[in-house]
Every structure is written in C-alpha cells, then in structure tokens.
Structure 1
Amino acid sequence: MTTAFPATPFTIADGRALGFTERQLGSPTLHRPFKGVRSITSPSSLIERAEALACALPAGAAFSHITSAQLQGLPLSYALEADERLHVIRPINRPHLRRALVVGHRAVHARALTTAHGLPVVGLADTWVDLGELAGRSKPLGLDDAIVVGDACATALRSTAPLKQALSRRVRPRGKILLTEALELIRVGSWSPRETQARIMFVRAGLPEPKPNQPISASWNRDVLLGYGDLVWQIELPDGRQVRLIGEYQGAEFHSEDEQREHDDFRRRRLEDDGWLVIEIWAADMATTAARWAIIRRFAEELHVPESTLALHDTDPHFFSRHAIDVAIARDDVWRGRRC
C-alpha cells in the first residue's frame, strides 16, 4: 500500500487510485487548495496555485485572461495584477466551471492553446483579445495597458498580424473598439513596458516614430555591432543633414548600479564617437505632465521639429479609447442640454 503522499498536488480520485484511504485523504496534514485537491504543501506562487488547480481541470480547459498573461510573462498593470483569482476557459458547450478563487469563462470562439510552465494556456494573441473583456468604465484595462501587452505579444510572435487575426476571428468581442485603437500603436521590438510608453508618448506628441531596439552597426564596418538602441531615429533633413538620435530608457532597477552604469557609459561613448546622439530617459521624465513636456521638447529640438507643431496636451497616459471619450462628451452635452 502506498504510504507517502505525492510530492505534487493530486485529486482525491487520484489519491484513491494510489491506494489511500478516505481517512488518509482527510488528514489535517494535507492542504486543500481547491475543492477535491490535496497537496502536502500550501501552494503560494501563481505557478504553484495553477498547478494545484490544473490537476482537477476537465479536458479542454486552459488558463486564460489575466492568468494566461501572467504565466506567459506578459507585462500587466498593477490594477490587473491585483486580481489574484485564477482564470480558466473551456468551450461554450461544456458546463460552467465553478470553484472558489476561480473565474470560469466559456469560449464561443475557439482559442489557440499552448503551454507555459507545463500548464495549458490560451495562446498569446487570443489572450490579448481576451483581456479586452476587462476594458471599460470601472474595469482595470486601459488603452495604454492594451498597447503595452500588445507590444509584448507582437514582439514574442515577431508580428502584429496574429493579434489582428485573433481579433478579426471574434464576432463583436467585448473591448473590440479599444483593442482596434490599440493596434494602431502596437509594434514589434519593444523590450519593456516603459519603452513602449515612451514611444507612444513621442508619437502622440507629433514626433517622427522611432524604431524600437534597433541594432546599431559601426559606420566604418557594418559587421561591428555597437549595441542596440531602445528608441532609434535616423532622419535626413531637407538640407541633407543626418539626424542620428537614440532615446535610452534607464530603469533605476537595472541601470543605477555602479557596474551597470560603467557599462552604459562605455556603450554610450562608443555610439557618440560614431556620430550618434544619446539621450537618457528616466522614470521621472514621464512621471508628470511638466516632465513629459520637457523631455518631448528636448527630443523635438534634436529632431528639428518645431514646438508649434507639437501636440503636448495629448501626451498624458491614455486610459479610455477615442470612442469612449466621444461617447462621454456626447452624453455630457445631452445632460447639459436637458439642464438648460
């Protein structure tokens, strides 16, 4: 007879099959992370909790929405991360999954499935579309959040096409208007949320769009790689002059240590010696309206973009889509008209 409980979570049915008695399976030394599931340790991390639930999931079910995004390492806002429930989806013709601390979804349209950490999850493109359900008033997903996650998905998939295709396959999905607007600014190549946020800030201001994380080759030998630029502009002015500008986002977490700063300074000198202008962007440069306007003006000057053409008032983070704002304005106009 089996005397040692499995090291990984198991269902009561599996425990019976292994030869454990009802008394053993009801032992107070076992943890009960979910109904019908037992484990010798209490799952704490997201992966551990998902593993505990996975052993009891019916065939065809997969982790979706926020849980899928987290398991696949997508960058989520604090508002989205605050949802600690596990999201699971299964086909519409299957019964609704109801468990404590679990959000059950049923899919009208098929999703592409894959695995992450050995667990079944909805694929990246379909996960991005599913997150659209969390957009709107009093919901956690905003427009810029959708762009940040979309950039990460497109970069991993090496194309924005899968996102467009996944969205087009759905019939009137929730959040479609916001996701459609987000697609206008989603690009391949972003390596961090802050890089994405800086890029869309510059674009909304009216600056030429930079290319994210471009390899920079030496002018004297194209086989010599000087490094990668977070945001890269290469522009020829009407008078024939060349503007070669790199915006480098410096996250304090990774770039404030002495060793890393020495590496950054050496890399910067190599680029500047080859004719590139490198401007660092810090979190403080994007923290307030005044700071954003200041850094935008600095880049505009180097790019020879007249300040009079800048749309500075459009550079704060965007939460609502243009459509949502237009609807709100129309509703407000109606309300004011009735008061008059």
Structure 2
Amino acid sequence: MPLVRAIALVLRTDQYVSHTSALAVWGAPLPAGAVGGPVHVTTAGTGPVMRRSDVVGHRRRHGARVTDHGGIRVSEPSQAWSESVPLLSVHGSVAVADHLVRVGGSLTIDELSAAIVPGSHGNAIARAVLDLVRVGADSPMETWLRLAVVDAGFPEPQLQVEVFDRGGSFLARVDMAWPEYRIALEYDGAHHRERDRFEHDQRRDNGLAVNDWLVIHATRADVARPAVLFERLRQAFAVRRGVRRVA
C-alpha cells in the first residue's frame, strides 16, 4: 500500500483514509477490481475535500469513527465496510462482512448494523447485505460457495459444523453442512494440495464416509462453472431425501 502510506503523510487532522482503501489497510479481502487505483480520503466536517488525481475525495459531516492503524488515520472497520457497500457487489460486501465477523474476528453483526447511517447512499443495500452475513466463513470463497448454493435453490447450510461418530468421538469440522441429511460441503483451496493437508483430508473423509456422511468438494474451478458441483449436490440430496436420517 505505498500510495496509501504516501497520501497518509499529507492528510490534515480532519481527513482520513476511508472506504475500500481503509478496508485494505485493515486486511479485509477485496475483489481484484477494488485493490489499487486512487485512494479514498474523507474529510470530516466542513473543511475542503482533498482534490488530487490519485485521490477520490469524500465528505462526512457527522459521526466519523476514525482511529490510527499502523500510522495511518483510517476509518474504523465497521465504518469502512459501511462506506464501501456502494462500491462493491453484494457478494463482495458479504465476503468482507463475513471476514469481519468470523470466529475470532474483530466485530459483530450488530456492530456492522450500527455503522450504517440512516438515509445514507447505500443504506438499503447495506441492510440487505447484512441479512446475508453469517459467522463461520473462513474465506471469501467459502462465502461465495454458501451464497451460490442458496441462490441455486438449496437449503441454507450450517457453517463450521462439528461432526461426531455414533460413539460421540470427534470426526471433523466441516466448512458447511446439512446435518439432518449427513451432507457436508467443503471448499478446497490451494493449501489442500499440500501433502500433509491432503493426507489429513483423506483420513478425515474416510472417517466421515464410514459414518454415513456424503462429502462434496468444491474448488476454485467451480466458481466459473458451478453446474457440475450443483448436480452432485442435487444427487446427494436426492439420495438422502429418499430415507431421511437424523444426525
């Protein structure tokens, strides 16, 4: 973030890095199109808005929530998310929000809700986005997968589900699942191809299989062409709805 740091050096005391630029400072996952480019700078109050070719200037008259992060005056995470909703797609906004409220994250859904300014540009969209936010996604791709399967007509899955065998011994924690059907859906990122991780996944899946769980795996390739993934998931539900089982 060299440009952000350079702009931060010339900010007045009533100015701060905001919007997606602030989210980048906080390490939030942003789509490629939202990374780089001009820096978003907001003026709090009535002072002049910054005018530079490498800056997008904004004004916030009241209620600015600003802090210092790594020497940069920046919007607090909840405010940065709220500011950025009009600049991102719905799925992109949900992915950022899921990241902020993840287990061990810095915020709650209620805190994100409190950061939405009534009557502001994007207020309705932000409220709609919050309805889609869930605690438990560990990556933007897991957020995409959850939203995609729901958009495709499947029931909403539970996230980070702990699975036990019939004797009560822990088997696995899966990304998302429908426990009543014993169906699990896993997103396999690049790290799943590492030898140790691959061997761990194989042992875990064997344990799930012998305990009558169906495990469907998704990869990055399914983002562009999810039809095959959805068909496998439909087949899994067809099998389990024939004889419904209780976890």
AA aligned to 2:77 is L
2:13 is the alignment partner of 1:76:
no
Structure-2 change in CA distance of 1:206 and 1:109 (3 Å): farther
Please list, as runs of the form range in 1=range in 2, the aligned pairs for 1:57-76 lying within 5 A after superposition. 57-76=11-30
Which residue does the alignment assign to 1:247?
185
Q: What SS is found at the alignment partner of 2:135?
A: coil
1:88 to 8, 29, 41: 41
Which residue does the alignment assign to 1:271?
208
Which residue does the alignment assign to 1:130?
83
Which residue does the alignment assign to 1:53?
7
Which residue does the alignment assign to 1:160?
109
TM-score, normalising length: structure 1: 0.63
Q: How far apart are the structure 2 equivalents of 1:208 and 1:158?
A: 27
- Return the index of the structure with the highest Cα Rg: 1
Which residue does the alignment assign to 2:89?
142
Superposed CA RMSD: 2.4
Structure-2 change in CA distance of 1:285 and 1:56 (3 Å): closer
Structure-2 change in CA distance of 1:77 and 1:97 (3 Å): same
Which residue does the alignment assign to 2:72?
119
Asked whether the 8 Å contact 1:158–1:188 carries over to 2, the reply is no
Q: What SS is found at the alignment partner of 2:156?
A: coil
Q: What SS is found at the alignment partner of 1:103?
A: strand
Which residue does the alignment assign to 2:119?
172
2:179 is the alignment partner of 1:234:
yes
Q: How far apart are the structure 1 equivalents of 2:4 and 2:29?
A: 19
Cα deviations by residue, 1:75-109 (Å, 9 ceiling, x for unpaired): 1112222x422212221322212234122221133
Asked whether the 8 Å contact 1:207–1:300 carries over to 2, the reply is no
Structure-2 change in CA distance of 1:256 and 1:93 (3 Å): same
Q: How far apart are the structure 2 equivalents of 1:54 and 1:184?
A: 34
AA aligned to 1:121 is V
AA aligned to 1:233 is W
Q: How far apart are the structure 1 equivalents of 2:231 and 2:67?
A: 44
Give how far 1:116 is off.
3.4
AA aligned to 1:88 is V
Q: How far apart are the structure 2 equivalents of 1:164 and 1:192?
A: 21
Cα deviations by residue, 1:2-60 (Å, 9 ceiling, x for unpaired): xxxxxxxxxxxxxxxxxxxxxxxxxxxxxxxxxxxxxxxxxxxx1x3333322221114
Structure-2 change in CA distance of 1:178 and 1:210 (3 Å): same
Which residue does the alignment assign to 2:131?
184
Q: How far apart are the structure 2 equivalents of 1:165 and 1:267?
A: 41
Q: How far apart are the structure 2 equivalents of 1:74 and 1:162?
A: 16
Give how far 1:289 is off.
5.5
TM-score, normalising length: structure 2: 0.85
AA aligned to 1:90 is T
Structure-2 change in CA distance of 1:256 and 1:107 (3 Å): same
Q: What SS is found at the alignment partner of 2:59?
A: strand
Q: How far apart are the structure 2 equivalents of 1:107 and 1:113?
A: 11
AA aligned to 2:217 is E
1:282 to 214, 219, 223: 219
Q: How far apart are the structure 1 equivalents of 2:161 and 2:73?
A: 34
Q: How far apart are the structure 2 equivalents of 1:248 and 1:85?
A: 37
2:141 is the alignment partner of 1:194:
yes
Q: How far apart are the structure 1 equivalents of 2:207 and 2:109?
A: 33
Q: How far apart are the structure 1 equivalents of 2:160 and 2:14?
A: 38
% of aligned pairs identical?
29
Q: Which moved more, 1:277-286 or 1:290-299?
A: 290-299
Asked whether the 8 Å contact 1:133–1:173 carries over to 2, the reply is no
Asked whether the 8 Å contact 2:158–2:177 carries over to 1, the reply is yes
Gaps of 5+ in 2: 243-247
Q: How far apart are the structure 1 equivalents of 2:23 and 2:80?
A: 7
Gaps of 5+ in 1: 1-45, 135-140, 236-242, 306-340
Structure-2 change in CA distance of 1:295 and 1:175 (3 Å): farther
AA aligned to 2:111 is P
Give how far 1:302 is off.
4.8
Asked whether the 8 Å contact 2:218–2:229 carries over to 1, the reply is no
Give how far 1:264 is off.
1.6
Q: Which of structures 1 and 2 has the larger relative contact order (alpha carbons within 8 angstroms, sep 6+)? A: 2
Structure-2 change in CA distance of 1:297 and 1:87 (3 Å): same
